[in-house]
Structure 1
């Protein structure tokens, strides 16, 4: 495949000078697609032309071609690449005729705006050279399998992305990562998939060039040659869509199942669900362009919509694809569905309790939809070296997995590549995939080896409460010159509630009060306010509640030795500057006792009180919990469960290394001075 990719890439040499390297893809990719379709139609060419002469009705013609040629597309042109090359004087017009006479389901050349490129190539005398070389490439399915064709597309796109400094990973996912996702998806259904002429559906809302769909079909046919996988996909990028659709057509799939559009803004398979769903959505990409459509859909569909669980921050839309897939799994009463999606680390923990992200996790976990989360090795993808994770969703778990989530640390199962491809320097080999799949199938974290890589938790183990811990407000009050200046400044600068107060009169009142009380400091707010109000009243200065508060705050200072400030109901008033929060796991218990996360919300007050009595009150006795502010959250602290403590090196060893380095530096300095 590498040699074929290099050969096709080599054709781009004919474009040098006319096009810049980052523009080669606009020619090479559609020509590769055209040559593939040309080769697929070759055995049926004469039959197809005869049928085109008999049937004017496009629908009837498509039906007859499907029946007699076994193809879901056709071309009514008298030309093919061989005939076009045979007439050098009319290459441009004949090629335009050829691509324009494909059946309506072949709209890929329009997406590439290929007619304009044909005109440019013809003008620069490059068209015949390019067409002739492509006509010599044998891309017939008997020579280049569907899987190999997918690999060819992948390699070409990667090369063009590198040439233009684009992110290759935006267009496709590495095959080794896809194979692992497929293995995990099929793991629970392998017995059912291996027998009979079964039919299953698979869907990818971020289809790219169709790599996930292709690998899923390839794997299913390996398991059961009689099986049939009906593929569906949606893609927002025109060129990726064109490649994906062409690949599906060449495989005999229904071309209308691949659709162009923004999945988040417009679900083109609304109301349809699938046996399997797969996706590798973009990471850290905002969803501003889709905001209006998403919020409108959420309001219209209510609790039954795909975005009902919550909306993440506008800067990262990957969790929207997570809820989208949860919505697209086949319902339980129809047999259930499974989904696999690749995400970065942020969906595991970002967002506090009751944020959009936390509410999405809460929905998935409380509805028992999360089956497993697998950590992948770093440097697995072409455009990023960050940590990534496969989430496996299942709405019809087998009994032993009900109410549980399996975490698998697969980050150490990889093989170093001989040559990096972008950021990708590691691959998950077949042996690595089998090990990870074995951990998944065993679903056992008690075995010694499995315990290092697999953990099983109850869904409630990831729940917690965020409680607000308050401390009382304690203030002292003094009508000193410094504090008077602060209060008067608020009035003079026309800021806040004191803005309408007569600053001069206020200064006089406060100076008189300061003279009367001397340097006296009040530690009880109620006593001080009584004195202050009486003084203001005697001076005929009336302040409303907001202005009065602004005044006494200006004359106050926090003081841990002062009396607690009480509100109108006689309750301690909280000091917002000392407010703190605590996250309490559902299953928390004091040391020596066993907690139970499965009690969840039923034991909320009991667990929170026990935590407060043990962890907070002994250290800060005057605190209390404001239960009205308590929130429920969910997060998956993945690495905490696989953390291994590595003690630091002995100081003697570090000192020895430093001595060696110092000596080396001194030698180098002596050489420089010499």
Structure 2
């Protein structure tokens, strides 16, 4: 029987109460999460547990370590196993020796699971659990939670991991958004990313590769694969790739891939050495491109630690991942954008598509000639940008700011070439009955369908605007003039690229500044996407008569109240 994942997450969350007094609250997730990962693995391995133990007894010492590893994986019918006689239930049978037996249990795991457990920094916390006599309590309470595949699907298990991360992060005032994009936002992203290519994905012998350069717990990757297999092509071979800097979330992503039968070696990073793991500094898939790429990279996070590597890469020009240059060091979003574009499958091999979540900064930050403007110019002049969708505010757990999904491709369909579609979906949502952090809105299936339909229709409506790519470009022209006091003044005019500079100057400047001149040697080209301006609706002020009527009505009410008091 399927369990409610929200209830399961709450049960596990309550287990952390046993840590009170012995650990700081910011340590809770580094203890509870590895136990949850091991409990899930333990439950998955249960049906073949005895067969693995028998095979280990039969073959140990008779074959090489690699040979034994292969035999045990075959016996487990998985790419991982545990050879110890213990499981979470049997560990409870000997409370006096639970620490020693638990260590034997950990030693029985296959090397790939041992690596995952090690990423949590579990050894030190395990010793503290022993000294505080808490280990038995944790195992006892967790044994009451059914995480078997028959009760908790892989999809629901992903929800449990991410709900726990959200709660632990909220408790310790950390940023859950570093790890977790709401699943309904991911479902919208996968529709925008994959559904336009349904015909391409359908059919026999299809091999699809999907990549997330900031993969967190791997939710975007797994939901993308599920969408392909459930809704487009159940026979497709889908391979997932991700890179992650944080060891704990890397461990969850890798364990999730192992359990689902994906190649966990395609999840890279997690060493704890930032410049080794950071996608911006060190592309661990430097020799690959992909069919589909999606991510929710950090907002407003500086790239100081990546600076040397990024600037060296940018110096390579078109041969590197940052051919348009670099933005201000205070925000790396446009570096991730360039990186993702560089990882698209070349057009002659079928092309690639990108869906990425950004805040508002990449739309307009930086004037003409600045790093951000030059990156937008590169994206638009190469006709990579297909659409930008404004999401409702308060969709994410750690921020209420406006967020946008950018959709890019190097192989636009004919009717979209040279065009960009802007979609205002900020009012398409349902309210949550109870806030989850800053999140008080969600996308129901009907909302996702409505937003995708607006995108697919590619028509001008109140919520959809379509522009030529050049519409976002302008020329910054320096204007000099002398004021009435004889002082020299200088300013700049932003003249749309579609407008003739001389005509614009005669029409917009000279009527107001008859002695003005232009210094064309200082011209700069700029690009910005003033999203809100295109959807602004003028609301005229109320008429004076209407205001006067309201004032008279209020005055009448006040006089009536005063008369009642006097009487």
Identify whether the pair has TM-score above 0.5, normalized to the shorter chain.
Answer: yes
Measured against aligned partners, the alpha-carbon deviations of 1:14-67 in whole angstroms (never above 9, x if no partner) come to 223323444321221110000011111112223333444426544334444454
Deviates more, 1:145-154 or 1:224-233: 224-233
Question: Are residue 307 (structure 1) and residue 322 (structure 2) matched?
Answer: yes
The secondary structure found in structure 2 opposite 1:71 is coil
Contact in 1 for aligned 2:211/2:240 (Cα 8 Å): yes
Q: Does 1:585 align with 2:478?
A: no
- Within-5 A mapping of 1:120-519: 120-196=128-204, 198-223=206-231, 224-260=233-269, 261-299=277-315, 301-445=316-460, 451-471=461-481
Residue 327 of structure 1: how far off its partner (Å): 0.8
Task: Please show how residues 574-613 of structure 1 align to structure 2 within 5 Å.
Answer: 578-588=489-499, 607-613=500-506
Whole-angstrom distance in 2 between the partners of 1:666 and 1:325: 68
CA contact (8 A) 2:55 2:75 kept: no
What is the rounded CA distance, in whole Å, between the counterparts of 2:102 and 2:121 in structure 1? Answer: 14
1:170–1:660 Cα change, 3 Å: farther
Give 1:79 shift: 3.0
SS state at 1:73 partner: coil
Q: Which residue in the other structure is 2:514 paired with?
A: 621
In 1: Cα distance, 2:419 partner to 2:17 partner: 56
The structure-2 alpha-carbon separation of the partners of 1:110 and 1:414, relative to structure 1 and needing over 3 Å to count, comes to same
Distance 2:556 2:52 in 1: 82
5+ long unaligned stretches in structure 1: 446-450, 475-557, 561-574, 589-606, 670-674
In structure 1, the residue matched to 2:49 is: 45
Question: What SS is found at the alignment partner of 2:112?
Answer: coil
Number of the residue aligned with 1:81: 88
In structure 2, C-alpha distance between the alignment counterparts of 1:365 and 1:65, rounded to whole Å: 53
Tell me, in whole angstroms, the C-alpha distance in 1 between the residues paired with 2:415 and 2:183.
31
Alignment correspondent of 2:116:
108
Is the 2:387–2:420 contact (alpha carbons within 8 Å) kept by the matching residues of 1? yes
Deviation per residue, 1:74-119 (Å, 9 max, x gap): 3343432233222322221222232244333332221211121121
CA distance in structure 1 between the aligned counterparts of 2:555 and 2:262, rounded to whole angstroms? 68
Deviation of 1:192 after TM superposition, in Å, equals 3.3
Q: Which runs of 5+ in 2 are unaligned?
A: 270-276, 563-567
The answer as to whether partners of 1:150 and 1:214 remain within 8 angstroms in 2 is: no
**Deviation of residue 438 (structure 1)?**
0.7
- Between structure 1 and structure 2, the one with the greater Rg is 1
> Does the Cα contact within 8 Å between 2:56 and 2:72 map onto a contact in 1?
no
Picking from 642, 653, 659, the partner of 2:535 is 642
**Contact 1:72 1:255 survives alignment (8 Å):** no
Q: For 1:359, what is the secondary structure of its paired residue?
A: helix
The 1:653–1:97 alpha-carbon spacing in structure 2 relative to 1, beyond 3 Å, is: farther
Structure 1 residues 461 and 666 mapped into 2: Cα distance closer, same or farther (>3 Å)? same
- Secondary structure at the aligned position of 1:579 is classed as strand
Assess, with a 3 A threshold, how the Cα gap between structure 1 residues 334 and 127 changes in structure 2: closer, same or farther. same
Q: 1:461 to 1:78 in 2, by over 3 A?
A: same
2: CA distance between counterparts of 1:70 and 1:24? 33
- 1:354 is paired with a residue of what secondary structure? coil
Aligned residue in 2 for 1:500: none
Do the aligned partners of 1:187 and 1:441 also contact (CA within 8 Å) in 2?
no
Task: Describe the superposition over 1:504-561 as per-residue Cα deviations: whole angstroms up to 9, x where unpaired.
Answer: xxxxxxxxxxxxxxxxxxxxxxxxxxxxxxxxxxxxxxxxxxxxxxxxxxxxxx952x
Counterpart of 2:89 in 1: which secondary structure? helix
CA distance in 2, matches of 1:659, 1:285: 54
Output the TM-score relative to the length of structure 1.
0.77
Alignment partner, residue 92 of structure 1? 99
Q: CA deviation at 1:163?
A: 1.2
Equivalent residue, structure 1, for 2:14: 10
In the TM superposition, residue 8 of structure 1 has moved relative to its aligned partner by 1.2
Q: Describe the superposition over 1:450-505 as per-residue Cα deviations: whole angstroms up to 9, x where unpaired.
A: x1111111111111111111236x9xxxxxxxxxxxxxxxxxxxxxxxxxxxxxxx
Structure 1 position 609, deviation (Å):
1.6
Equivalent position SS for 1:90: helix
Conserved? CA contact 1:234–1:258, under 8 Å: yes
Deviation by residue 1:371-399 (Cα, 9 ceiling, x = unmatched): 11001011111111111100001111111
C-alpha deviations, 1:559-586, integer Å up to 9, x for none? 52xxxxxxxxxxxxxx8x6111111111
Aligned positions, number: 547
